Structure 1
Amino acid sequence: MHRVVDLKVLYFGTPVVLISTRNPDGTANLAPMSSAWWLGDQCMLGMNTASRTTQNLVRERECVLNLPSSVMAAAVDRLALLSGSPEMTPHKIEKGYRYEPDKFTAAGLSPLPAELVAAPRVAECPIQLECEVLSCEPFGIDTGCLAHTVRVLRAHVAEELIIPGTAHVDPVGWDPLIMKFCEFFGDGTQLRPSRLASAWRIPATSR
């Protein structure tokens, strides 16, 4: 038996990505997102046009995609309601966002120099992908979003996640942080309450 539902959120579950970019003044910005999908050596990122990350991607044409493991849920949650732009939209103000110029410190994370791009890597993330931006195109109808296509130029992977003698990640050892309907999951288990879910007034599960 199925029921017709006017779903308020369509995030069925994708890995969290911490996107690091460079601001106009050369400082680093760090933003969590989970609207990403992958094909070959390329990835598409869905981002709001008003975000500092989008502005940096369009201008700098590069970024680092840092993939946190499930044990990093608390650090990612500390970034959830922070904005890298002092000029915030009414939507962000209503949701409780605040301006934070130093997101690395706010999250308790460490910047690490990249090798091919100017944006830093996140030292604590087991997988760090240096990328170039190939295109930035409008997405959907009246969504206020852009679809950014990026290509991975260099991948940094924690030694313990690499299958010995190969260039492959161990899928058993890799436990990515998943955002499912704005809640944090790892290994199929809900990890902690999410500030983002609270801001969006998403009800807690009854299970």
Structure 2
Amino acid sequence: MSIFVDADPHARIEPNILYFGTPVVLLSSMNEDGTPNLAPMSSAFWLGWRGMLGLGSRAKTAHNLIRTRECVLNLPSDALATAVDRLALTTGAHPVPDRKWEGGYRYVPDKFQRAGLTATPSETVAPPRVAECPVSMEAVVEAVHPVGDDGGTLAFEVRVQRVWVHEEIRMAGTVDRIDPDAWRPLIMSFQKFYGLGAQVHPSTLASIPEHLYRGKDLERARAL
């Protein structure tokens, strides 16, 4: 007896991008002149207190991270979509690289002002946090990994040193847990902004106590 269905429900396609949906990150870094840069990106995921960030190798943010080894990962809520969109097609690179210029990018020296957001000092790194973002994570670069054969993309492995949250997304009665019903991240899916809907099904994985996921990076951060 065959395990395969008679009619394949899939159709083979070749999409130009594979952005099926990830949280938007406003990544703050420091320019050479000591001013902050703020760049929206969404190629990001986390493992414990480490994150992987995918950036174009020619991007100003990539240059800043390689030079300073520091950044802040600011996570906007879906209510901040308009502010995030004000940063679309902007770059902190001057002059603007030819490829970005052709794509419509323009140089903006003060990204915080452009977005209408507020810079607030970090505790362990030089780049500022975004006050309006419900989550901000101070981080340092641990490694840089080339992606692909053309050198155009880099994956930055970052280690989180501080996590800051707005009180309204903290789970009631806890000191170190986020309430997923209160946290509404801004999601980028195929170049468009979305929010999250309500929980669709209980998760068996949630039966595992969160503290069992604590790793050495968290203890390392406590020592700073």
Please state if 1:187 is matched with 2:162. Answer: no
Query: Do the aligned residues in 1 keep the contact of 2:76 with 2:133 (CA within 8 Å)?
Result: yes
Please point out which of 133, 136, 141 is paired with 2:141.
133
Please point out which of 166, 175, 180 is paired with 1:171.
180
Please state if 1:71 is matched with 2:62. Answer: no
Structure 1 counterpart SS, 2:19: coil
Query: Do the aligned residues in 1 keep the contact of 2:57 with 2:151 (CA within 8 Å)?
Result: no
Gaps spanning 5+ residues in structure 1: where?
189-207
Q: Distance in 2 between matches of 1:87 and 1:5?
A: 38
Structure 2 counterpart SS, 1:79: coil
Q: Distance in 2 between matches of 1:54 and 1:161?
A: 30
Which residue of the partner structure matches residue 115 of structure 2?
A: 107
Structure 1 stretches of 4+ moved >4 Å: none
Q: Quote how far apart the aligned CAs of 1:127 are.
A: 0.4
More displaced, 123-132 or 136-145?
136-145
Which residue of the partner structure matches residue 167 of structure 2?
A: 159
Please state if 1:80 is matched with 2:88. Answer: yes
Q: Distance in 2 between matches of 1:89 and 1:45?
A: 21
Q: Distance in 2 between matches of 1:150 and 1:81?
A: 25
Alignment of 1:47-66 (within 5 A): 47-66=55-74
Structure 1 counterpart SS, 2:63: helix
Which residue of the partner structure matches residue 203 of structure 1?
A: none
Gaps spanning 5+ residues in structure 2: where?
1-8, 198-224
More strand as a share of residues = 1
* % same residue: 55
TM-score, normalising length: structure 2: 0.82
TM-score, normalising length: structure 1: 0.88
Structure 2 counterpart SS, 1:104: helix
Equivalent position amino acid for 1:141 in 2:
D
Q: Which has the larger radius of gyration?
A: 2
Q: Quote how far apart the aligned CAs of 1:87 are.
A: 2.4
